[in-house]
Structure formats: C-alpha cells, structure tokens
Amino acid sequence: MNPDSQNVTDYTNNNTIFMVWNFKENLEVSAVFKKLCKLVINLNNSVNVRFPVSRASCVMGIGYDAWLRLQLPVPLPKELANFVPIDGEKHTAVSSKGDLHFHIRADNTSICYDMAAAISDILSSVAVSTEEIHGFRYWDSRSILGFVDGTENPQGQDRELYSMVGSDDGLYKGGSYLFVQKYIHNLTSWKELSTEQQEKVIGRYKSNDIEMADDVKPSNSHIALANVGDELKIVRDNMPFGNMSTNEMGTYFIAYASTFSTVKKC
C-alpha cells in the first residue's frame, strides 16, 4: 500500500460515524482546509499509538465541487465527477451535495466521538454539517434487515486491488473513489414477510448466510442483480443505523473503488 494512502482497506469496525459537510458560500476556506488535513493525519497517528488494537481510523473524502473551490491539483483524478441521478422504474438514485465526507470507525464509541468532535470544531466556522449517521455492528455483521452484509466483499490483498486507483492514473495512485448512499428500510413491511419470502428477496439463506443455488435464486433477488462480475468488485463498509424516535432504520452504503465507472455500473 502507498504509505500516503488513507486507510480504506480496513474491515468494518464495531462503531462508525459518517459525516457530510458543505462549505458555506462566500468564505475563504483554504486555510481551514489545510488545518483540517493536518488534523486528520494527527488523529490517525494518535489513535494508532494510543489505542493500537482499536483499529480506529478517519478517512476524508473530497467532492468534485470542493476540489475546484479549494483549487486542488490539476489535472483532476480522471473519473472525479458529481454523481448524476439515476431514474429507475420504481426508485431514483438521487444526487446530494457533499463537499467533505468523513468515515470514522473504531471499536470504542468514545474514540469515534472524539474524532468527530475535533473535526467539527475546526470545520464549523466555514462549513455546515448536513448529515451525521452513527452506524453500529449488528450481531454477526448483519444489516438491519437481519441478513449478513459483506460476505462477497474482497478479502486480503484483493481489497487494495479493487479499492485503490492504479498506475493508469499515476498522479493519484493509491487514492480511492468514494461513493455513499443512505437507504431507509420499511421494517414494518419487511417483518410482514416470512423468512422464506425474505430469503427470496435477498437471494441468500438467513440463518447460515449461504447463497441460494442459481436454479433456486430468483432472477430479481438482490444478489442476482448486484452481481456484475469480478472485474467490477468494490470494497464496501456498509453499516446499519437506527433511530427509534423518528422510525428511521436503514443501511449506510459506502463503497471504495479503483474507478468511479465501476461504482456507476454496480
């Protein structure tokens, strides 16, 4: 791994905070951004020294508009662009603005909180937090729907292969394309389905996490539709979240990929 690369290849941890920030208009933000970059480096170094077994880290992503506003190096990463909404027959993959994205993870909630607080202290003068999701490990890495999530994720050295930019974009080799989606699940309707019906929706057996045989698995199941070939693999660090007071339960989908075109095809 490139020593300057961010830690996008680590496995999901017990606790995660996802944050999206947007810069305020008509403000000079470059000086604060430089402080922020130094802070993120310091946070990662500090937690590795103080809590070596916590597998704590903070990964910062920069959006296309922010890249231009901050006048970061040109040429840009070859495939860096704003996401264009995708309209489906029933649903739309929306595009929402995000100048900076933070993926904070640790086995201890206190570590996540302290890193998020330090980032917020620096950014709040020039940016607005538009999203904050607290994810958690649900039993044996299950989504809030009750099925194991991440079984087909690349393992070992393949995580670097599929998540990091290669030599074809040498200036940014070791970087990564970040893509996130926030899914809200209707658990009331989901719980009305029998376990067998749920398994057919997912394409995998619920109790033992084994994928259904091709002659049994419905062609419109989640696994059948999501399987687009080994060459298009991505590294996902999805986390479930839930808020009882707002009845907002879901999955925060986060992908790291070597190319953005891979994400769009997935």
Residues annotated as catalytic (active site), given as ranges: 149
Residue among 191, 204, 176 nearest 4 (CA): 176
Helix then strand then coil, % of the chain, to nearest 5: 30, 25, 45
Instruction: Describe the crossing of helices 30-50 and 109-123 by its angle, rounded to 10 degrees.
Output: 160
Place of tokens 């489906």: 88
29: tokens are: 């933000």
DSSP code per residue over 175-214: --EEEEEEEE--HHHHHTS-HHHHHHHHTB-TTT-PBPPT
Q: Are 204 and 146 in contact (CB under 8 A)?
A: no
